[in-house]
Chains A and B, each alone.
Chain A
């Protein structure tokens, strides 16, 4: 289990937030005057992860090169925390030839085989794939682990339940990570799930389950460390449910009228200023540090966007490549 480095956790959270904030701007910049989802430099659906940084950062702090992640439709935070190249990822989001998938995938389909990172826009379908990666790691005699990430809404999909059973039955080195951000588009958890804790559901499948409250990055770090160590040591799967926060809409353009009073307090629950305050109190962070860390993140993001926007676009003929190996 890696040692807690508070400043590293904070820097990684800020790096992700500055990235998402900038993509948010870029995404909306050229969709007006008549807002059109298909227009602009970044077209299509956009699911941003602002508010959910503690989940990705706390978990990925324990991963090493060769460990795998399957992420859902909201993948940026886990991609960045797991070491996916920011330039190539950004170029993919801009649909450029230099992107991870040469513009074929887009933001919901980021594939980085180097880092064993993938994502899918079909809810919960990364779970079985993570089991298969874990199966391979085990058969290949490595101590690598697979992390399967999805939202609390995904935990009502058959693939989730089948995967938990498979992983427990075959003692696979998988950690199932559920980001409970209270909402599945417009449907609150209370309207979708009878059992209030997915940690309890895990017990039913024969694996330990832990629920982390309060979107607390250090608590995530602790719980993930134990789960990942367990998987690495050959002791089998576990489930980690993290109560987190969807700071913005489900996708960009979501007016969130359904969200009611929950919206009023959302900014007060932002985990990044809160963690900055904690670190400041501990004497680990000064106001200057806050500014320097944000500036460093911005510079990296600027460079990635510059890389993406100066990269060539694919042409129609490229669409016919890559159907088969």
Chain B
């Protein structure tokens, strides 16, 4: 049977993709951020997951406002990255696992999560940046992926509770897959940041710290928050924290934080990194 080995969180902003392309790992501005990742990669080297389910939001590469799904999932053999308009180099495609994707779709829809299914799907920085951070050699090791998109572009967004419950169904669906797959779940985006309006540059260290702590042992703390509450506390784009909650919902066992890093700022964002182990 498939097993969920853990969950990872990381910010996914485009500036990171740019810094990776320019190999700025030792640059004084970037070093405190990049230094968080090697211990997580060591953990991944030990655990060797076969598949990564990547929970992210599309920022206007695959989806536009003509059709904006609340939840969408990839079911393709391969996922390509493409030009997002601002000059980050396009990177190598990612492997999919359509049979596993369809198993998840069957079970999630059965559980009342009516996802949009995508047999073709371009993956933007929300997906590619975390993959590059955790598996710089992803193309060589051939780790398989399932992209899971949650709308954080156009309000109304799904509530924290809804996203957490989606995660719970996702966890159950994964663990009912008959193949012996080791699965890791990525919750990407966040933490506090706001790009738009006179409130641009808003960061809330106190709230972020609480998120980093409570998501480990007490994720249900957030379930009565509204999206508006999240925007107030974490900034307009800090609402991406719902992506972390979806990840956390899928961890069904005993959860232990193996590594964490919190750093302000990268670009306009407070970056949060967590490596959560999920013991049976």
- The judgment on whether A and B are partners is no
Chain B residues engaging chain A, CB cutoff 8 angstroms: none
